[in-house]
């Protein structure tokens, strides 16, 4: 195996095309194809599905490229330290439910290590997609919550997908509302206080099971209920319709959340927020640094890290 072959592999995965990758690498298409065939033969794996419309990584290919990126990261560190080569483009991806602290840490990571070239991905997405992204190596880190209602089911799914859930902190449920909502006159809320207001929740697509809900108490009946797919829209509806949702209580003024207020909810329940990673993949230095920044922001919000 040669380092050059791993660089070729990453370029093919990035472009989805042998021809386009060859052009960008300034080598011939037959030479690139041969290099990949030799790599597959050496390790006894099929890295790509080849078709008329392009190339996609196999499951083994996605796993292989995560290991190869670790190797290339180490090579990059050597080159950077001794000044022998151009610094390699930073690559990192995180998938999460909709939490401000996830975005805060991501912003800090990009500012700190992004450099002149980087390819980072932040996916605020459905719960099932978070698990799938980590299982298929689309993201290194996933952020979700567990509580006494969903924990048994979620931990079973996490184990089936060869993932691990690492708790970060515990949060008491809060009701998120717009600043002008009449509910803000109360310092604490009961479920009865919410009965006449529009309940807002994140939709979960085809796997719209109560266990995948991002909000606790998902099984309760609501007279008025709207499902939303993104955080900006849910905030707009909190303001425009006096709607509410239930979450961790973390609101970020840095992310234009100043129009939203979090009010404690009187209920015997809590949320354990944590991160997912794949058991079979060694965490990259970028992912490790992201987790450090994530913990810093959580502490800044007044929570204690487990």
40-80 pLDDT, tens digit per residue, is 999 999 998 887 777 888 888 888 988 888 888 888 777 76
- Residues in CB range of 130: below 8 A, 6 or more apart: 95, 96, 97, 123, 139, 142, 143, 144, 276
Between CA 180 and CA 121 the distance in angstroms is 34
- Asked if pLDDT for residue 245 goes beyond 70, the answer is yes
Q: CATH code for 3-82?
A: 1.10.10.10
Band (pLDDT 50/70/90 cuts) for residue 87 is low
Average pLDDT, the chain: 88
Contacts of 206 (CB under 8 A, 6+ apart): none
Which part of the chain has CATH 1.10.10.10? 3-82
Dihedral angle over CA of 158, 159, 163, 169, nearest 10:
60
Stronger pLDDT, 204 or 155, i.e. the higher one: 155
Range from 50-59, 167-176, 211-220 that averages highest in pLDDT: 167-176
Q: Which CATH architecture has domain 171-271?
A: 3-Layer(aba) Sandwich (3.40)
Question: Rounded to whole angstroms, how far apart are CA atoms 213 and 271?
Answer: 12
pLDDT at residue number 163: 95
Answer yes or no: pTM beyond 0.85: no
Dihedral sign from CA coordinates of 175, 181, 186, 189? negative
pLDDT for 13 equals 86
- Give the residue, 250 or 274, on which the prediction is more confident: 274
Give the span between the Cα atoms of 13 and 170, in whole angstroms. 38
- In percent, the amount of the chain with pLDDT more than 70 equals 94
**Residues written for the chain:** 306
Residues of the chain with CATH 3.40.190.10: 90-167+272-300, 171-271
Superfamily of structural domain 90-167+272-300: Periplasmic binding protein-like II (3.40.190.10)
Residues 106-111 have a mean pLDDT of 94
**Dist CA 37 CA 31 (whole Å):** 10
For the cut 90, the answer to whether the pLDDT of residue 182 exceeds it is: yes
CA distances from residue 154 to 34, 99, 129 in whole angstroms, order as listed: 43, 19, 13
Of 295 and 248, the one with more pLDDT: 295
For the stretch 152-179, what's the b/e string if a residue is b when 16 or more beta carbons lie within 10 angstroms of its beta carbon?
Answer: eebeebbeebebebeebbbbebbbbbbe
């Amino acid at each position: 195996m040669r380092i050059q072959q791993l660089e070729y592999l990453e370029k093919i995965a990035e472009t989805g095309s042998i021809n386009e990758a060859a052009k960008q690498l300034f080598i011939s298409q037959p030479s690139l194809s041969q290099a990949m065939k030799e790599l597959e033969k050496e390790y006894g794996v099929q890295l790509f599905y080849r078709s008329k419309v392009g190339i996609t990584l196999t499951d083994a290919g996605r796993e292989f490229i995560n290991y190869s990126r670790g190797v290339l990261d180490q090579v990059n560190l050597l080159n950077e330290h001794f000044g022998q080569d151009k610094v390699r483009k930073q690559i990192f991806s995180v998938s999460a439910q909709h939490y401000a602290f996830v975005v805060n840490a991501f912003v800090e990571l990009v500012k700190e290590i992004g450099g002149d070239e980087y390819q980072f991905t932040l996916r605020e997405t459905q719960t099932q997609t978070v698990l799938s992204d980590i299982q298929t190596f689309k993201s290194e880190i996933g952020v979700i919550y567990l509580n006494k209602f969903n924990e048994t089911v979620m931990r079973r799914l996490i184990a089936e997908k060869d993932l691990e859930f690492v708790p970060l902190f515990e949060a008491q449920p809060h009701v998120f509302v717009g600043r002008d909502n009449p509910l803000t006159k109360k310092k604490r809320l009961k479920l009865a206080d919410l009965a006449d207001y529009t309940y807002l929740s994140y939709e979960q697509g085809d796997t719209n099971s109560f266990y995948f809900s991002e909000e606790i108490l998902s099984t309760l009946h609501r007279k008025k209920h709207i499902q939303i797919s993104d955080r900006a829209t849910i905030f707009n509806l909190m303001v425009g319709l006096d709607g509410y949702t239930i979450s961790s209580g973390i609101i970020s003024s840095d992310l234009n959340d100043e129009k939203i207020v979090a009010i404690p909810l009187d209920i015997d329940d809590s949320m354990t927020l944590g991160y997912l990673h794949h058991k079979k993949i060694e965490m990259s230095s970028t992912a490790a640094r992201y987790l450090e920044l994530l913990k810093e922001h959580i502490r800044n919000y007044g929570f204690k890290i487990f």
